[in-house]
Structure 1
Amino acid sequence: MSKAMRILHAPTNIAGIAGLAAKAQRRLGYDSTSVEYISRQFNFGTDLSLHLERERGPMKVAKAMRFATAAIRKYDVFHLYFGNTLLPYPYPDLPLLRALGKKLVFHFCGCEVRRRDINLDEYDLSGCHECTSLVCLSKHHPPFNRADKLLVATPDLLEFVPGAELMPGPVDLSEWQPEPFRDKQPGEPIKILHAPTDRGIKGSNYIIAAVERLKQRYNVELLLLENVPHAEVKAFGNQADIVVDQIMIGAYGTVAIEQMAKGKSVICYIRPDLRPYYPASLPLVSATPATIYEEIERLVLDADLRRQLGAQGIEYVHEVHDVDKVAARMIEIYKET
Structure 2
Amino acid sequence: MAIAKGKKIVFLTNSELSADSPADLSLTNLARLAKLSGNHPVILGVAKGAAPKSYEIDGIKILCIANPSSGLDRGEKSTEKINNIAYDAKRVDIHIDYAARAAKLAEIMLEIEPEIIHSYDYGGLELASRAIEDLRVANCCPAWLHSAPKFIAALAAGEDNFARNYVKKEEVLLRQVDAIIVDNAIKAQVYEERYFLPETPSVIADLPSAVSCKKVSKIKIKKALKLKDENALAVYIGDVKRIGAIDSVLKMLADNPQMICAIITGERGHFIENIKDTAREEGVLRRLRIVHPPKSEEIISFISDADFVFAPTMGGKISEYEIPQEIYYAIHANLPIIAAQTESVEALLKEHKFGEIFKQGIYYLLREKIEAVLANSAKYKKNISAALKAQYSPEVQAVSLAEIYANTLLKKTKQGKLAVLHGLTGASGLPWAISRAQRKLGIESDTICMDGNKFNYRADKIIPDTVHSIHGMLNDAVNKYDVFQFIFRPAFWQVTTNDFPTGFDLLNLRAANKHVVMYFMGSEARYHSMYSELCEFDYTKEGPGNVAKFPEEAQRRMMKYMRGVASKIAVCDAEMQTYIPDARIIERAIDLENYKYIGAGSTGFEPLVLHAPSRRIVKGTDYVEKAVEELREEGLKFRFQMIEGMTHEKAIEAYKESDILVDQLRIGWYGFLSVEAMAMGKAVICYLRDDLLHHFGEDGPPLAVADPNTFKDTLRNLILDKQARRELGMKARAFCEKMHDSRVVARKFMELYEDCEKDANPVDVAAVTEFMQYQRERYRNVITENNHRFMKFSTKSNNLKAKLAKEKLQNA
Question: Scaled by the length of structure 2, what TM-score is found?
Answer: 0.39
1:263 aligns with one of 667, 674, 681: 681
* Gap regions ≥5 residues in structure 1: 53-59
Match of 2:565 in 1: 146
Asked if 2 retains the 8 angstrom alpha-carbon contact of 1:15 and 1:254, the reply is yes
Query: Hey, what's the Cα distance between the residues in 2 that align with 1:306 and 1:209?
Result: 22
Could you say which structure has the higher helix fraction?
2
Q: Indicate how the Cα distance of structure 1 residues 5 and 100 shifts in structure 2: closer, same or farther if over 3 A, else same.
A: same
Match of 1:205 in 2: 622
Match of 2:593 in 1: 174
2:652 aligns with one of 230, 234, 257: 234
Asked if 2 retains the 8 angstrom alpha-carbon contact of 1:191 and 1:240, the reply is yes
Query: Hey, what's the Cα distance between the residues in 1 that align with 2:469 and 2:464?
Result: 10
Post-superposition offset of 1:221: 1.9
2:485 aligns with one of 52, 59, 79: 79
Match of 2:691 in 1: 273
Query: Hey, what's the Cα distance between the residues in 2 that align with 1:98 and 1:311?
Result: 45
State the 4+ residue runs in structure 1 displaced beyond 6 angstroms: none
Question: Scaled by the length of structure 1, what TM-score is found?
Answer: 0.92
Give % identity. Answer: 29
Match of 1:334 in 2: 753
1:189 aligns with 2:643: no
Match of 2:665 in 1: 247
Post-superposition offset of 1:68: 1.6
Partner letter of residue 752 of structure 2?
A: I
Query: Hey, what's the Cα distance between the residues in 2 that align with 1:180 and 1:119?
Result: 34
Asked if 2 retains the 8 angstrom alpha-carbon contact of 1:126 and 1:250, the reply is no
Asked if 1 retains the 8 angstrom alpha-carbon contact of 2:599 and 2:726, the reply is no
Matches for 1:278-289 after TM superposition, within 5 Å:
278-281=696-699, 282-289=701-708
* Worse-matched range after superposition: 61-70 or 24-33: 61-70
Root-mean-square deviation (Å): 1.8
Asked if 1 retains the 8 angstrom alpha-carbon contact of 2:589 and 2:741, the reply is yes
Asked if 2 retains the 8 angstrom alpha-carbon contact of 1:3 and 1:29, the reply is no
CA deviation profile, 1:268-326 (whole Å, cap 9, x unmatched): 01100111222332221100100110000000111110010011111111011100000
Query: Hey, what's the Cα distance between the residues in 2 that align with 1:206 and 1:129?
Result: 16
CA deviation profile, 1:36-57 (whole Å, cap 9, x unmatched): 11211111211111144xxxxx
Matches for 1:45-194 after TM superposition, within 5 Å:
45-52=458-465, 60-82=466-488, 84-89=489-494, 90-126=502-538, 128-130=540-542, 132-134=545-547, 135-137=549-551, 140-141=558-559, 142-185=561-604, 188-194=605-611
Post-superposition offset of 1:94: 2.3
Asked if 2 retains the 8 angstrom alpha-carbon contact of 1:214 and 1:220, the reply is no
Query: Hey, what's the Cα distance between the residues in 1 that align with 2:718 and 2:578?
Result: 33
Q: How many residues align?
A: 326
Query: Hey, what's the Cα distance between the residues in 1 that align with 2:428 and 2:416?
Result: 26
1:42 aligns with 2:461: no
Q: Select the structure of larger CA radius of gyration.
A: 2
Post-superposition offset of 1:127: 5.2
Asked if 1 retains the 8 angstrom alpha-carbon contact of 2:426 and 2:453, the reply is no
1:23 aligns with 2:23: no
Query: Hey, what's the Cα distance between the residues in 1 that align with 2:599 and 2:708?
Result: 30
Query: Hey, what's the Cα distance between the residues in 2 that align with 1:46 and 1:198?
Result: 23
CA deviation profile, 1:123-174 (whole Å, cap 9, x unmatched): 3124535574422226644431211111111211112213101111101110
Partner letter of residue 753 of structure 2?
A: Y
Post-superposition offset of 1:21: 0.8
Partner letter of residue 574 of structure 2?
A: P
Q: Indicate how the Cα distance of structure 1 residues 129 and 239 shifts in structure 2: closer, same or farther if over 3 A, else same.
A: farther
Asked if 1 retains the 8 angstrom alpha-carbon contact of 2:539 and 2:546, the reply is no
Post-superposition offset of 1:181: 4.6
Asked if 1 retains the 8 angstrom alpha-carbon contact of 2:601 and 2:722, the reply is no
* Worse-matched range after superposition: 126-135 or 222-231: 126-135
Match of 1:225 in 2: 643
Match of 2:149 in 1: none
Q: Indicate how the Cα distance of structure 1 residues 275 and 180 shifts in structure 2: closer, same or farther if over 3 A, else same.
A: closer
SS at structure 1 position matched to 2:479: helix
Asked if 2 retains the 8 angstrom alpha-carbon contact of 1:201 and 1:248, the reply is yes
Query: Hey, what's the Cα distance between the residues in 1 that align with 2:467 and 2:720?
Result: 55
Asked if 2 retains the 8 angstrom alpha-carbon contact of 1:23 and 1:32, the reply is yes
Query: Hey, what's the Cα distance between the residues in 1 that align with 2:728 and 2:578?
Result: 30
Quick one: higher RCO (CA 8 Å, sep 6+), 1 or 2?
A: 1
SS at structure 1 position matched to 2:447: strand
Q: Indicate how the Cα distance of structure 1 residues 279 and 230 shifts in structure 2: closer, same or farther if over 3 A, else same.
A: farther
Query: Hey, what's the Cα distance between the residues in 1 that align with 2:493 and 2:733?
Result: 40
SS at structure 1 position matched to 2:608: strand
* Gap regions ≥5 residues in structure 2: 1-414, 495-501, 757-812
